[in-house]
Amino acid sequence: MTSVLSGKKVLLGVTGGIAAYKTTYIVRLLIKAGAAVKVIMTPAARDFVTPLTLSTLSKHPVLTHFTNEEDENDTWNNHVELGLWADLFIIAPATANTMSKMVNGNIDNLLLATYCSAKCPVYFAPAMDLDMYKHPSTSANFDKLAAYGNLMIPAGEGELASGLSGKGRMAEPEEIIHFIEQDIQSKLVLHGKSCVITAGPTYEAIDPVRFIGNHSSGKMGAALALEMVNHGARVILIMGPSAVKVEHHLIERIDVKSAQQMYDEVHKKITQVDIGIFSAAVADYRPANPVDQKIKKKADTLHIELVKNPDILSSVGALKNKPFLVGFALETENELVHAFAKAEKKNTDLLILNSMRDKGAGFGVDTNKISIIDRDKNVSDYEIKPKSEVAKDIVNEIIQRVL
């Protein structure tokens, strides 16, 4: 499952406490989540975990000093560049000594210099013995660090290195990652919003082996689902037959085949969400009488009676308390005329227009070229782009109108 940490650049600052051994697991979990990780250690931290272990796991050299002690002519480790590189900075374990220096601006090592240069969110996970944790100076430092904008990952209770039992045990690696993921998630602009997205084709059975369908791949709907969750929304992705894989802990995928199945699933979920995006290429017609056995090739011609499928977009647009509604229109001629008519008839808030005449648009390709039509018939035209970038344009338009 994709994490909100995927693609993030993470600095891990390791200080000199026994809990430093847990940082090997933190690095592994960050890498597994898809993050790029660089590690900075204080000199004292090297007594508890080796730089070789952390550099092997992170696939980056571990930095401890401003310069390479083995080569005085080597370039210095630029703490400003490190601070600017990071999307977030985790200091774990954060010892009482390091926290005191963070509060008072006592910059005596590379980790602390980078901390003072960082422009990204800083998380710190305290780790110390019970008496140190309960000392008034520690509580005061917690408050001051929070006032500076740092985010504390609460320590847990349990057996401590001294043999005492109580508060001060550094949060477990899984707890640290979960805390950060939840914090990032809560600050995304669509956090708390939910969305139904339809994607892919529908297959309408003629017999057990043949169907009426189309060439939709589902790639556009999948890109929209990932972009919505990247902004914090919970997504219910109702997908017609498609080989496209979409995995994220905020995406609930429901696989369907026919238009009727898609219609039924949409109406089970649509009253639970804030936004509906209907990008599926739903078959307009289906065979009236699909047969149970394979049709044998006998006559030179075969006549199949077709009946209309339910119109999913229209049915949602007609709801008294409909969600913010985004429809798609694929046209081959008189595109804007047909699109304006569809937007009005189906009561969309935004209509995404594709033209089959545009090179790089349509089914089965990784790019798309769209125009976005709002309720006032304002038209925004976009250049051809990868579908992931098209999804960003669409979601940005949605965000501007639902927040």
Catalytic site residues?
Answer: 214
Rounded Cα distance between 50 and 59, Å, is 14
- Other C-beta atoms closer than 10 Å to the C-beta of 284 total 14
> How is residue 234 written in tokens?
């919970």
* DSSP calls for 314-336: HHHHT-TT--EEEEEEEESSSHH
Nearest to 14 by CA among 125, 153, 171: 125
312 is in an annotated binding site: yes
255 is in an annotated binding site: no
224 is in an annotated binding site: no
Long-range residue pairs from 222-227, CB within 8 A, at least 24 positions apart, any chain: 222/246, 223/387, 223/388, 223/390, 223/391, 224/197, 224/199, 224/277, 224/279, 224/391, 224/394, 224/395, 225/197, 225/199, 225/251, 226/2, 226/251, 226/388, 226/391, 227/388, 227/391, 227/392, 227/394, 227/395
89 is in an annotated binding site: no
Residue identified by tokens 């149970």 is 292
Residue identified by tokens 């930095």 is 63
284 is in an annotated binding site: yes
> How is residue 363 written in tokens?
């089914």
Residue identified by tokens 């639970």 is 272
342 is in an annotated binding site: yes
310 is in an annotated binding site: yes
Q: 139 Cβ partners below 8 Å, 6+ apart?
A: none
294 is in an annotated binding site: yes
Report, in angstroms and rounded to the nearest whole number, the Rg of the chain calculated over CA atoms: 28
Nearest to 273 by CA among 197, 217, 175, 171: 197
Rounded Cα distance between 94 and 170, Å, is 9
328 is in an annotated binding site: yes
Q: Residues forming the annotated binding site for CTP?
A: 284, 294, 310-313, 328, 342, 346
